[in-house]
Amino acid sequence: MVDLVSSWANAGSVLTVSRWVTVIGGLLLASLAVLVLCLQFGATSVDVRTVATAITHMFRGDESGSPSLRTSEIIMVQIRFPRVLMGFLVGASLAAVGVTLQALLRNPLADPYVLGVSSGSALGVSLAILFGIGSAVMLLPLLPIFGFAGGLLALLLIYRLAQSKGRLPIHSLLLAGVILNAILTAFIMFITSIMEPNRSAGLMAWLMGSLTAPGYPALGVFSMYVVLVLAILMHKAQLLNVLTLGEETARSLGVETEGVKKQLFALTALLTGAIVSVSGMIGFVGMVVPHAVRLLIGSDHRLLLPASALVGGMFLAVADTLARTIMAPAEIPVGIVTALAGGPFFLYLLLCRKDRML
């Protein structure tokens, strides 16, 4: 019997520990390589050896000799390293939020940006800024809370709008998202138009989705926040699997769906609020990355969730490197790069694979 069982259980049709370790281990190594590569490029490019010495000096905290090396070290330590790491964390969170929303709404096209959750968070943050909570766009602990509240409201609204007779038809969900997005964006535009011009310019750049180099305390708080929420989501991965069977079937398997759904909505809104408050509205990472990863490694969320997070991190780190270098020394918002890469992919899915999603 055991031999018979292992014939299918080890043949790649179910998730095994060794497959999980191989995939996640490989992606961790790849992420490391991508991060080191991204550190090299920018307005001034720095070779690998300098990156390495800068990092070792950063951790040892000792002074180094030649002044030119010191300049590039300052660039590395003060600007590039935190920014690349921030990009990685934001991309990972966006992909994780995408995976969670897709399973929760049983819709492969769900994405915090497409559904208007990001706009909700952005409206919350914009309102906070309008009323003078935080003169800078970033780095105030209150901003993520406003982002969370806005995102959660948008998510609940979407859910109520699209639900009919206990079902969530895919197209009505997307339609509700598009309309909600338009309304929320109008509010945000209104806020920017009544602000002082110099403040609204900063807000606009942030809204388009841009990464900046945060200070180390802010980076530390943000990464702890992200790691904590990702760990909780990871812990719920098996529930996500069962939820894809449909809500009634999930309940007949002993899942208290109402409570689980509320928790998952709150977690995704929390993460979206945090992401939006630091990086504005970066679109399509949450949809494109999980989709591609799912095609390669299957749908089991215990593997899909961490793998998508790592790939999403790499994707955004690379996209941000492009945004920094294409028009150097000027920068373009990274949201433009992801939208240009992800938008056509979304259209392709919507038009060409219609049969599979209905």
Partner 1 sequence: MTAARTGTAQSSLAVNPPAIEVEGLSFRYHTREEQGRKWTLDHLSFHVDAGEILGIVGPNGSGKSSLLKVCTGLLPAGEGQVRLGGVPLRKQSQSDIARMVALVPQEYVQVFPFTVAETVLMGRFPHRTARWWSLGIGDETANDLACAHQAMVETDVLPLADRLVSDLSGGERQRVMIARALAQEPNILLLDEPTVFLDINHQIEICSLIAQLRAERRLTVVLVSHDLNVASQYCDRVLMLKEGRLCRIGPPDETICPDILRMVYGCDVVVDAHPQTGRPRVTMPISVTRF
Contacts with partner 1 by CB under 8 A lie at: 1-2, 4-5, 8-9, 11-17, 20, 102-103, 106-108, 170, 234-235, 237-238, 241-242, 244-246, 248-249, 251-256, 294-295, 298-300, 302-303, 356-357
Residue with tokens 């926040």: 225
- CB nearer to partner 1: give 294 or 324: 294
Residue with tokens 């900046």: 212
d(CA 101, CA 342): 17
- CB nearer to partner 1: give 185 or 263: 263
- CB nearer to partner 1: give 23 or 319: 23
Residue with tokens 């095609």: 295
Shortest Cβ distance from residue 254 to partner 1 (Å)? 3
Shortest Cβ distance from residue 159 to partner 1 (Å)? 17
- CB nearer to partner 1: give 53 or 244: 244
Shortest Cβ distance from residue 296 to partner 1 (Å)? 10
- CB nearer to partner 1: give 102 or 181: 102
- CB nearer to partner 1: give 108 or 209: 108
Closest C-alpha to 140, from 155, 120, 124: 124
- CB nearer to partner 1: give 149 or 255: 255
d(CA 280, CA 33): 27
- CB nearer to partner 1: give 309 or 334: 309
Shortest Cβ distance from residue 234 to partner 1 (Å)? 5
Neighbours of 284 (CB within 10 A): 23
- The rounded Cα 59 to chain-centroid distance in angstroms is 28
Closest C-alpha to 287, from 307, 308, 306: 308
Shortest Cβ distance from residue 33 to partner 1 (Å)? 24
Shortest Cβ distance from residue 341 to partner 1 (Å)? 23
Are 38 and 318 within 8 A, CB to CB? yes
- CB nearer to partner 1: give 28 or 182: 28
Instruction: Give Cβ neighbours of residue 277 (< 8 Å, ≥ 6 apart).
Output: 121, 125, 138, 143, 144, 146, 147
Shortest Cβ distance from residue 181 to partner 1 (Å)? 22
221 to each of 96, 132, 151, 161, 302, how far by Cα in Å? 19, 22, 20, 35, 26
Kindly state the helix (H) or strand (E) to which residue 318 belongs, with its residue range.
Answer: helix 301-325
Shortest Cβ distance from residue 266 to partner 1 (Å)? 18
Instruction: Give Cβ neighbours of residue 247 (< 8 Å, ≥ 6 apart).
Output: 166, 257
Shortest Cβ distance from residue 237 to partner 1 (Å)? 5
Bridge partner residues of 167 (DSSP): 164
Exposure letters 19-43 (e unless 16+ CB within 10 A, then b): bbeebeeebeeebeebbebbbebbe
